[in-house]
Amino acid sequence: MKTLKLKFDNSISSLCGFDFGHDTFEKQVKGELVDNEAIEVEIPSTIDSVSMSFAQGFFSEIADKHQMKNVEKFVMVKSNHDRVLRKFKDAILIRSNG
């Protein structure tokens, strides 16, 4: 499985906003995806908080194509911060059940 380290300005510690999440996916992840192969996305340790809207925007393109419940078959998120991981997992659960 390929690992991709996301890059953000070092002064940023929180990721917020649907559009920013979608843009991050478009610019840093989408071009690295190969059909039906999973990719691990590593969130920098400087990021200690993620909003639900960022996570939903980040996953939106994959969710539209494959349904939100299947997102983790294609993109797995890795972070040193449990609350960051929880937010991504919550985004998947909420949209899958909503």
Rg, C-alpha atoms of the chain: 12
Range of the domain at 35: 2-97
Question: What pLDDT, in 10s, does the model give residues 44-97?
Answer: 999 999 999 999 999 988 888 877 777 888 888 999 999 999 998 888 877 656
pLDDT at res. 72: 80
Question: What pLDDT, in 10s, does the model give residues 31-42?
Answer: 988 877 889 999
pLDDT at res. 55: 93
pLDDT at res. 97: 61
Sequential DSSP letters for 45-74: TT--EE-HHHHHHHHHHHHHHH-GGGGGGT
Question: What pLDDT, in 10s, does the model give residues 13-33?
Answer: 999 999 999 999 999 999 988
Domain count for the chain, please give it: 1
